[in-house]
Amino acid sequence: MRLFSALLPPEAVLRRVAEITRELRDLPEAGRVRWTDPAGWHITLAFHGECPDGILPDLGERLGRAARRSAPFHLRLTSGGRFGDRALWLGVADARPRLDPLPPAGDGGKEVVSSEPGGPPLAGAGRPPREAATGRDRPVVRLAEACRAAGARAGAPHRETVPFRPHLTLARSRGGAGRAMAVLAGVPGDVIGEAWLVDRLVLIRSELPSGAAPGAGPRYTPLLARELGTGRAVEATNAGG
């Protein structure tokens, strides 16, 4: 079975992605690419490759250790891009909580942490904002590296050879779609949707449905999830907000 570790954005974020995708599908170039299934939207952390069934207990335990060493963190989706003519994607950026001005007396004098001016409070209210991390200091990059290491130590056959670049894939090329990819990649705005709290990583099985039509995308099945900060087993969805 083909396995990969990933993050699953919450429903509110995915609804915004669906809106953007509908807008892009109205463009003349949209018919030149194969759009991904919204049911499978995710942010890959590590691709583990074709693994034997017996790897699950050890891999799950090692992913639990990786999750335990990573505190929850905030992300948000950003403007689109492309990998050459192969894939169209939305970027993933850190979203650091910031302190809003102190509220008027009567609100308890509590500081409110928000991802955007006027936005909803985020976890960690009352703590000072942190400087944005870059490169390998980013929490999502460190978590991806830990998942890659977990797969290698559990005996997963695939070894990543390219630097990790977090993204959510919207479409893939049907061949000769370079211009379409370039146009579509330039459409989304700089900020897409709300920030969310990443509180778990998920191990997912990827399989091509039997009898699928040529060009059909894979079907994704979450197998297990581990909570960040504790490593305990949790529901294989993203409940972060």
Residues with catalytic annotation? 42, 167
User: What phi, psi does 231 have (nearest 5°)?
Assistant: 80, 0
CA–CA distance, 237 with 219 (Å, rounded to integer): 16
Q: The sheet that has 233-234: what strands, in order across it? A: 43-50, 2-7, 200-207, 219-227, 233-234
Q: Which residue type occupies 165?
A: R
Of 158, 182, 200, give the one whose Cα is nearest residue 88. Answer: 182
Within 10 A of 103 (CB to CB), how many other CB atoms are there?
12
Pairing of strands 219-227, 87-94: unpaired
For residue 35, the cross-strand partners are 171
CA–CA distance, 59 with 62 (Å, rounded to integer): 5
